[in-house]
Structure 1
Amino acid sequence: MFFALIISALLTWLVVRQYRKVSRLPPGPFSLPLIGNLPQIVYYLWTTGSVSSTFDLFRKRYGNIFTLWVGPIPHVSIADYETSHEVFVKNASKYADKFHAPLFAEIKNENGVLATNGDHWQEMRRFALQTFRNMGVGKDQMEVKIMEELDARCADIDKQAINGVTTTHASDFFDLTVGSIINSILVGKRFEEHNKQEFLKIKRALDSAFELFSPFDLTVPIWVLKYFFNRRYTNMINLNEETTSFVAKEACERYAELKKGNYRVDKEKINDFTDAFLLKIQEGGENRDFNIETLKTMIIDLWITGQETTTTTLISGFNQLLLHPQVTDKARKEILEVTDNGSRPLCLADKLSTPYLNAMIGEIQRHASILNMNFWRINHEPTYMGGYPVDSGAFVTAQLSALHINETVFENPKKFDPERFIRDEKLLQKVIPFGVGKRSCLGEALARSELYLIFGNLLFRYNFKPHGKLSTEEVLPYSFAKRPFKLEMQFIKI
């Protein structure tokens, strides 16, 4: 009898405690103590068929700001632009701290920019942004690098052509193009005949890992992965080490020569990110922020994020363009007019003269919307968001996968319709694939330049046809990030 009373009292206390917590948060489905909304989340993932559809369902039921309890922790999702901008831009400093998946924290060891907070993160982000600016990212200098790589890839395609037609996997073409760009920025080396197959092997292994990586891996404690999913854990650790060794090889060799006194960085001639980083070590010695381990982590952080977002968007985009040839024709017509019938390459200075191409890329980014589930920020103090109270300790985010298919913002959101941005020019501002606030993508300026130059210049150089099946469905809708259908297509020289 006494034991039953103890259990009843404990359950009552848990229910009352949960009710009080729920009252200090935006609306959401009924949650249970300790396990929260895990049963509903699993059920709706199964019935809706994807992570993004599940978020969209909760948005429709509970509004543009809703709460889901993942176990004992409340997660507040914001699915409209105005509130996202208010929270993460106007109050950016409050939401600079990001929740890091235990697996990320284990791999990164409190180095770099992806899985750190505080002073180290601020220093690394500030250094990276300044270095990219000095290297001309978003300016004419970087445009030259992007066009050099695109021209090199197009030359390879043309060599392989049979009667003017080359059939290739879109992923290989875009991985090599974008990979060479980011690699030359980071370590001054591009991918050529002697090393491109090794790169593609590493990239395919990374793709496989991303396809396996799920919201489950983002939330469980590291000991659960180690002891109950050891093979999965070991594969991820080994792949990270293998990828880092490959990507940071040049940087490690240069660092070793610097330590021996055989290499000096000329501060008047910084060729890449590695040189800029090594100059800090050369001038001030190694410290908590500037050391070889941090350099390796920064390179892999920037390499993966710079590679994945852009290549995924390009592949997703060509899936859409092959399904909507009228969009391709209209964009090509505009590009030809701007470039004097293709007598010169399209350049970044042409952006103001290509409203339809800009709209097309915006619509591609809205549909691609790379992350099924956005990274969570930590709310450190009680506040209000969109008129709702949000208690301290809650995780908050702009849930981009739900925001980009919000029918109150984007009419008929499932339709691929670049014209929506011609009808309403301000609507393009509400496509935010790179995130908002202080934790937005470091490489946004580079990615925007790449997308504009690659889409634009390919469209007037080639016609495109699918080789096999076409689809805009996600390959693995339950994964953390979206993976587009693996497209094989034909490049037909114009």
Structure 2
Amino acid sequence: MLEDIFQSLTSVSLFGAFIALFVFHLLYSNLNFQEKRDPPGPIRVPVLGNLLQIDLNRLDQSLFDLSKKYGSVFQVYFGPQKVVVLAGYRTVKQAMVNHADEFGNREITPLFYDLNQGHGVLFSNGDSWKEMRRFALTTLRDIGMGRKMSEETIIAESGYLKKEFEQFEGEAFDTLAINYASANVISALLFGKRFEYNDQILQNIVQIDRENIHLTGSASVMIYNLYPWLGPFCQNWKDLMKNNENGVADLRMLIADLKETFDPKVCRCFVDAFLIRKQYLKDDVRNSHYHDDNLLHTVDNLLTAGTDTTAVTLTWCLLYMAKFLHIQDRVQEELSRVIGSRQIRTEDRKDLPYTDAVIHESQRFANIAPTALPHRTTKDLTFQGYVIKEGTTVVPLLTSVLYDESEWESPYTFNPFHFLNKEGKFIRRDAFMAFNGGRRACLGESLARMELFLFFTSLLQHFRFTPPPGVSVDEVDLDPLVGLTLAPKPQQFCAVRRL
């Protein structure tokens, strides 16, 4: 009897001690930031951190809400991982642009490493990243990115896209062809060729790209990044690995075909330029970066980024036109008055201020990369009075920039007048950071801007976009399909030929 009482008292004592230690842990770990000058943040629990306070299915909104309570620099714990979040235009710009070196590394999550093995231009750091980014920027510009050559490629591709839309004769259809068109523009630079829209390789590229973008942003894959040992139990991770295997096989085949016909005296595309550079540096120490893995993953990174972001943004543009018909009317009035029926050129942008404002507002309002890709600090630093250690994961919250209430007159409304002055002329806005900024700014920005303008104006010049029969403009769904980027949910609309 006494032994039972003793055991009971011992159990109660141990439980009480556990509770005391737990409370001490909470108090110490959550209040000690004041002594260390850590950024503020919500109280966390062991193992899970702040996961119970965050909606992983719409992470950017959860972080945006937290920023309103904890300020423009705060910290959260994704499980055991500490993450510093930067919110608001002024803070994000200060970090990404004014302190570009300190915030300039990429956070290589377990998934990004699985897919890229530290190679390529998006998910790498150090000398390899510096060399690949420099080479990619220089080469893409040399072979026409953002220049006359690219303009002709985009105009030609817009012709194929218009024919694709015409075949539906005003009936409802989905927007997959937009992805094919966007993929063909970047393919012209990377491989020196375009694909027919029914080509199996092109369809594979687009299908894998769309699936992977969605899967990468899923809650289960975010959990995998925190606890990689869960990989074998995560179906989305297994699907990503399978997709990656299939996608890489197609790219290896395309690169192998170019190698078979390679002539170092003739540069047909990005792949050729890489091979020429590799041959030129064969006895140079810099040649260590010019190997097949870097070629494969750099091409993969550029193809994915060059296809998805432009296609998703253009799809949002057309969806907004089907939703806001009065805005579409005004765009088409301007196009008819200024351009008429002739071919639109990039130089016409300056004479189409309202149309240009609608494109920019579509990018702002769509907010397709709400958290950007995560960064990692390169050294210890003090930022806005807080100590941030070297190697800390940093999330620049672009949602808080593009919806910053101190920068935009009506941030939660689709309003092209954000980009127009009182005289109706286009104005640039500093808080328009749709392409991020600093060392990790989108290296294809000039091409993406040209594509959006030429594709959008060409399509609006020839078609009126409306919801499908039986769907009112009020029923057009603007809630996004959440992934690594925010894409429109699968839905149809009609493209009616203009007279």
- Post-superposition Cα deviations, 1:162-216, rounded to whole Å, max 9, x if no partner, equal 4xx354312x221111111111111112111661x44224423432333233254
Structure 2: segments with no counterpart, 5+ residues? 1-9
Q: Which residue of 1 aligns with 2:78?
A: 70
- Post-superposition Cα deviations, 1:140-182, rounded to whole Å, max 9, x if no partner, equal 1211111111112223433x254xx354312x22111111111
Larger deviation: 358-367 or 387-396? Answer: 387-396
Letter in 1 for 2:31: Y
Relative to the length of structure 2, the TM-score reads 0.87
Q: Which residue of 2 aligns with 1:60?
A: 68
**Equivalent position to 2:419, from 418, 421, 431:** 421
Q: Which residue of 1 aligns with 2:5?
A: none
Letter in 2 for 1:354: L
Q: Which residue of 1 aligns with 2:347?
A: 349
User: Secondary structure of 2:115's match?
Assistant: helix
Assess if the C-alpha contact under 8 Å between 1:376 and 1:396 holds in 2.
yes
Distance 1:198 1:123, change over 3 A: closer
Cα distance, 1:452 vs. partner? 0.8
Distance 1:293 1:392, change over 3 A: closer
Distance 1:209 1:13, change over 3 A: closer
CA distance in 2, matches of 1:78, 1:284: 41
User: Secondary structure of 1:75's match?
Assistant: strand
- Post-superposition Cα deviations, 1:323-362, rounded to whole Å, max 9, x if no partner, equal 11111121222223332x22x2221112222221121111
2:354 matched to 1:329?
Answer: no
- For residues 63-142 of structure 1, the aligned pairs below 5 Å read 63-142=71-150
Distance 1:263 1:320, change over 3 A: closer
CA distance in 2, matches of 1:273, 1:122: 17
Cα distance, 1:67 vs. partner? 2.1
CA distance in 2, matches of 1:332, 1:384: 51
2:284 matched to 1:281?
Answer: no
Q: Which residue of 2 aligns with 1:19?
A: 31
Letter in 1 for 2:237: Y
CA distance in 1, matches of 2:196, 2:411: 41
CA distance in 2, matches of 1:337, 1:302: 37
Assess if the C-alpha contact under 8 Å between 1:312 and 1:368 holds in 2.
no
Q: Which residue of 1 aligns with 2:486?
A: 482
- Post-superposition Cα deviations, 1:52-102, rounded to whole Å, max 9, x if no partner, equal 322221122223333222223332222222222221112212222111110
CA distance in 1, matches of 2:79, 2:226: 12
Assess if the C-alpha contact under 8 Å between 2:180 and 2:197 holds in 1.
no
User: Secondary structure of 1:30's match?
Assistant: coil
User: Secondary structure of 2:129's match?
Assistant: helix
Letter in 2 for 1:134: D
Q: Which residue of 1 aligns with 2:6?
A: none
Assess if the C-alpha contact under 8 Å between 1:474 and 1:482 holds in 2.
no
Larger deviation: 445-454 or 379-388? Answer: 379-388
Q: Quick check: which has more Rg, 1 or 2?
A: 2
Distance 1:316 1:167, change over 3 A: same
- What is the aligned length? 473
Cα distance, 1:11 vs. partner? 6.6
User: Secondary structure of 2:413's match?
Assistant: coil
Assess if the C-alpha contact under 8 Å between 1:67 and 1:75 holds in 2.
yes
User: Secondary structure of 2:394's match?
Assistant: strand
User: Secondary structure of 2:288's match?
Assistant: coil
Assess if the C-alpha contact under 8 Å between 2:102 and 2:378 holds in 1.
yes
CA distance in 2, matches of 1:74, 1:333: 52
Assess if the C-alpha contact under 8 Å between 2:323 and 2:466 holds in 1.
no
Distance 1:175 1:410, change over 3 A: same
2:436 matched to 1:435?
Answer: yes
User: Secondary structure of 2:74's match?
Assistant: strand
Q: Which residue of 1 aligns with 2:203?
A: 200
CA distance in 2, matches of 1:277, 1:393: 31
Structure 1: segments with no counterpart, 5+ residues? none
CA distance in 1, matches of 2:197, 2:310: 23
Cα distance, 1:391 vs. partner? 4.0
Q: Which residue of 1 aligns with 2:450?
A: 449
CA distance in 1, matches of 2:227, 2:245: 17
Q: Which residue of 2 aligns with 1:458?
A: 459
CA distance in 2, matches of 1:241, 1:421: 43
2:371 matched to 1:373?
Answer: yes
Assess if the C-alpha contact under 8 Å between 2:232 and 2:238 holds in 1.
no
Letter in 1 for 2:48: I
2:214 matched to 1:211?
Answer: yes
Distance 1:411 1:215, change over 3 A: farther
Q: Which residue of 2 aligns with 1:338?
A: 338
Larger deviation: 285-294 or 6-15? Answer: 6-15
User: Secondary structure of 1:345's match?
Assistant: coil
Assess if the C-alpha contact under 8 Å between 1:15 and 1:33 holds in 2.
no
CA distance in 2, matches of 1:136, 1:242: 30
CA distance in 2, matches of 1:319, 1:387: 43
Cα distance, 1:116 vs. partner? 0.7
Assess if the C-alpha contact under 8 Å between 1:25 and 1:391 holds in 2.
no
CA distance in 1, matches of 2:267, 2:262: 13
**Equivalent position to 1:155, from 155, 158, 163:** 163
Assess if the C-alpha contact under 8 Å between 1:247 and 1:300 holds in 2.
yes
Letter in 1 for 2:453: Y
Larger deviation: 426-435 or 4-13? Answer: 4-13
Cα distance, 1:427 vs. partner? 5.9
Larger deviation: 408-417 or 117-126? Answer: 408-417
Letter in 1 for 2:103: Y
Assess if the C-alpha contact under 8 Å between 1:55 and 1:402 holds in 2.
no
Q: Which residue of 1 aligns with 2:409?
A: 411
User: Secondary structure of 2:429's match?
Assistant: helix
**Equivalent position to 2:48, from 27, 35, 47:** 35
Letter in 2 for 1:210: I
Q: Which residue of 1 aligns with 2:233?
A: 228
Assess if the C-alpha contact under 8 Å between 2:26 and 2:43 holds in 1.
no
Relative to the length of structure 1, the TM-score reads 0.87
Larger deviation: 113-122 or 67-76? Answer: 67-76
Assess if the C-alpha contact under 8 Å between 1:34 and 1:71 holds in 2.
yes
Q: Which residue of 1 aligns with 2:316?
A: 316
Letter in 1 for 2:462: R
Distance 1:481 1:193, change over 3 A: closer
CA distance in 1, matches of 2:219, 2:270: 32
Assess if the C-alpha contact under 8 Å between 2:177 and 2:197 holds in 1.
no
Assess if the C-alpha contact under 8 Å between 1:15 and 1:32 holds in 2.
no
Q: Which residue of 2 aligns with 1:177?
A: 181
CA distance in 1, matches of 2:165, 2:427: 38
Cα distance, 1:254 vs. partner? 2.3
